[in-house]
Structure 1
Amino acid sequence: MEGMTGVFGFVTGYIIPFILVLSLLVFVHEMGHYLVGRWSGIRVLAFSVGFGPELAGFTDRHGTRWRIAAIPLGGYVRFFGDEDASSKPDMSKLESMSEEDRAHSFAGARLWKRAATVAAGPIANFLLAIIIFAVLFSIYGRSVADPVVAEVKPESAAAEAGILPGDLLIAIDGGKVETFDDVRRYVSIRPEQRIVVTIERNAEKMDLPMVPKRTDMTDQFGNKMEIGLIGIVTNQEVGHFRVQTYTPLAALEEGAVQTWHIVTGTFKYIGNLFAGYMKADQLGGPIRVAQASGQMATLGVAALLQLAAVLSVSIGLLNLMPVPVLDGGHLMFYAIEAVRGKPLGASAQEIAFRIGLAMVLSLMVFATWNDISALIG
């Protein structure tokens, strides 16, 4: 009985939030492909949330099969003329099509229509993130604090650079600082990298170079991570903690800003991986996403939605990678086609798709290994 209770708790606490979040993100991504594809006159054969055997579905009046599949780790839109769910064209069928059928196939569509249809998926993910953030800011506002130093940790980067309690941070590397969170966000992804913090002290501005120290952190759920810290703290007395409210329009603008921060932060993280400033073991896969979904669910709907927004941006960026089988790989092919005046040959595309599939599978295996290592570590 105790074992059954544990299994039920695992399913309701982790699996269900994970499936709900991932299904939402996949549905929005594929809906982007579907809507622009239909608008472009391309016939849609199937819209699937999940892979594998169909659990439930129906066929609409346009001939599109809408399906929920057994494996909730992705989804696809299959267009007329596609060989499979990756939108690889079936060249043999394409050659035997009538002119009318060819015009309604994905491969037979004009180049700009194919590019717009492919790009619509990631764009839909970015728009979803903006909307989620905007809704959260409209309802809950955002907790902010002034970037004023209340305490400087001994032997920290800030102490070595000469920062003192009472200093107002006004810029980092020339970029304006408005809240204490701006400082935290900028510094955390730059461990062991030289930055220049501009402070104001007694109406005098000073530029103080420093190097954030790589620090192991553990969050409230016990998850370990490495970030950069300069060793400063604020408090209510000097930081004036408050909730900043937004009108719907201002919330939408702030949602776009937050989404952009995630995009730039992701690129910075990738750059840090190649430069050796950060370890690749922080790259997570489905197990870690499921774990994070369950953890955020315990904090409430708002926290789970915030995670969904972050993951939505991540999915959008991942799909824009120039790897065949991903949306970015298709866009790369279309760029080559635009330059050459004709698409790559079928054999070249076949080889590229195989290489791309191997790369994606390798990344999934690596990320899953990181997840398992974190669980047993």
Structure 2
Amino acid sequence: MMIGAFLLVLGPLVVLHELGHYLVGRAFKVKADVFSIGFGKELVGWTDKRGTRWRIAAWPLGGFVQFAGDMNPTSVPNPDAEKASPEEKKGMFQFATLWQRALIVLAGPLMNLFVAVGIFAAFNMAYGVPTATPVIGEFSKGSAAQAAGFKAGDRIVAIDGTRVESFMDIAERVALYPGRTITIAAERGGVSFTQPVKLATDVQKDRFGNEIRRGLLGIRPAAMEFQDVGPIKAVMTGFDQSMGIIRTMAAGMVQIVTGERPLDELGGPIKIAKYSGEQLSLGWLSFVSFAALISINLAFINLLPIPTLDGGHLAMYAAEAVRRKPLGARSQEWAFRTGMAFMLALMLFVTLNDIASLSIFGG
């Protein structure tokens, strides 16, 4: 189930990501030489009338589109392309305008984001959008907020200077920070006040034994309801939900880099496969929700400014825009080599981390 669920999650998301690159490139008349699902040896493939080789490869851990003029799948420009005729250059990626290249590169992560927004929008239309004002209705046992002096009926207006619009905003500003002291701005009877609160640390295990560690205020809303919404509102809310997950991912990554969270929270293909199988065992709704999360993860990771990733290309295009000329061939080569070495080292680390976390190895 783990292997099947993993392929069922990653396969379509990779296809859609690469399809984003391909479709925008095609719109700008940039020829794609290869569209590959997976890496390594080709298992099956065919060439279409435009000359694009569509292939499925042996290692289904990603994919790529190699455009005309690219030296390899990481879109390193081929120096020999300069010798091409003016007509041939029209279909090459490196000779497209700067804004066209940027849009082609950006299209992949955006496609993953749109997939997640679409999934959340479908859920919003089917089940409604949870709505609750940020007013404290009651406290849980051992509530950190109650110990700090908050009372039922208090309205939370900001946490650490960031405005709170709904009760759902509170979780985003609290869950990632167990044990941290935050400052809450609130209103009571029309009077504003601020109060520091040390968040409780809640550690639980789900039915699969995965440990969940989060910060808690220990409060519940005065009232919550699910509001029926139309397509436009559903999509807008889906976008807000996706951006909230991206903010959470960014905050979590910063915490790992600064040592606030342990490195073993990083996961790679093995851990994704494990979670995929677990979520599929819970039913299709849980599995599709998990697919949305992984789709956002793919968009986020690919936008990091690391050479070989889409974000690395965008960073170089930004430098090109400032310099009014591309980076030198040697600079680009070293940037891609460094980026590839970093990504391989990271992949090795998270894979070993995943293996160590398995129960058969004492995890």
Summarize the alignment of residues 1-377 of structure 1 with structure 2, pairs less than 5 Å apart. Answer: 13-92=1-80, 94-143=81-130, 147=134, 148-154=136-142, 156-165=143-152, 167-177=154-164, 179-201=166-188, 204-230=191-217, 232-234=218-220, 239-376=222-359, 377=363
Query: In structure 1, how many angstroms separate the alpha carbons of the residues matched to 2:223 and 2:341?
Result: 52
Of 105-114 and 177-186, deviating more is 177-186
8 A contact 2:70–2:94 mirrored in 1: yes
1:82-106 per-position Cα deviation (integer Å, ceiling 9, x unaligned): 11111111212x1321111112111
Seq. identity, %: 43
Deviation at 1:169, TM superposition (A): 3.7
8 A contact 2:137–2:223 mirrored in 1: no
What is the CA RMSD across the aligned residues, in angstroms? 2.2
Query: In structure 1, how many angstroms separate the alpha carbons of the residues matched to 2:93 and 2:354?
Result: 37
Deviation at 1:205, TM superposition (A): 4.3
Query: In structure 2, how many angstroms separate the alpha carbons of the residues matched to 1:143 and 1:303?
Result: 17
Query: In structure 1, how many angstroms separate the alpha carbons of the residues matched to 2:139 and 2:318?
Result: 53
Q: Which amino acid aligns with 1:134?
A: A
Deviation at 1:298, TM superposition (A): 1.9
Q: Which amino acid aligns with 1:89?
A: P
Query: In structure 2, how many angstroms separate the alpha carbons of the residues matched to 1:98 and 1:80?
Result: 13
Query: In structure 1, how many angstroms separate the alpha carbons of the residues matched to 2:150 and 2:324?
Result: 59
Deviation at 1:241, TM superposition (A): 4.5
Say if 1:168 and 1:152 are closer, same or farther in 2 by CA, change over 3 A: farther
Provide the aligned length of Structure 1 versus Structure 2.
359
Query: In structure 2, how many angstroms separate the alpha carbons of the residues matched to 1:91 and 1:160?
Result: 67
Any unmatched runs of 5+ in structure 2? none
Query: In structure 2, how many angstroms separate the alpha carbons of the residues matched to 1:170 and 1:15?
Result: 45
Say if 1:129 and 1:358 are closer, same or farther in 2 by CA, change over 3 A: same
1:208-242 per-position Cα deviation (integer Å, ceiling 9, x unaligned): 21132444332332211332222x143xxx64453
Of 213-222 and 275-284, deviating more is 213-222
Deviation at 1:165, TM superposition (A): 4.6
Deviation at 1:79, TM superposition (A): 0.5
Query: In structure 2, how many angstroms separate the alpha carbons of the residues matched to 1:255 and 1:326?
Result: 26
Of 328-337 and 351-360, deviating more is 328-337
Q: Which amino acid aligns with 1:290?
A: A
Indicate the SS of the match to 1:269: helix
8 A contact 1:226–1:278 mirrored in 2: no
Query: In structure 1, how many angstroms separate the alpha carbons of the residues matched to 2:189 and 2:128?
Result: 32
TM-score (norm 2): 0.91
Deviation at 1:296, TM superposition (A): 1.4
Of 221-230 and 163-172, deviating more is 163-172
Query: In structure 2, how many angstroms separate the alpha carbons of the residues matched to 1:33 and 1:373?
Result: 35
Q: Which amino acid aligns with 1:31?
A: L
8 A contact 2:145–2:219 mirrored in 1: no
8 A contact 2:25–2:31 mirrored in 1: yes
TM-score (norm 1): 0.88
1:1-47 per-position Cα deviation (integer Å, ceiling 9, x unaligned): xxxxxxxxxxxx21112111111211111111101111112111111
Q: Which amino acid aligns with 1:67?
A: R
Deviation at 1:127, TM superposition (A): 1.4
Deviation at 1:321, TM superposition (A): 1.1
Indicate the SS of the match to 2:358: helix
Deviation at 1:59, TM superposition (A): 1.8
Indicate the SS of the match to 2:93: coil
Indicate the SS of the match to 1:150: strand
Query: In structure 2, how many angstroms separate the alpha carbons of the residues matched to 1:373 and 1:166?
Result: 47
Deviation at 1:339, TM superposition (A): 2.2
Deviation at 1:146, TM superposition (A): 5.4
Of 211-220 and 66-75, deviating more is 211-220
Q: Which amino acid aligns with 2:28?
A: S
Query: In structure 2, how many angstroms separate the alpha carbons of the residues matched to 1:16 and 1:319?
Result: 24
Q: Which amino acid aligns with 1:324?
A: P
Deviation at 1:189, TM superposition (A): 1.4
8 A contact 1:42–1:106 mirrored in 2: yes
8 A contact 2:267–2:351 mirrored in 1: yes
Q: Which amino acid aligns with 1:124?
A: M
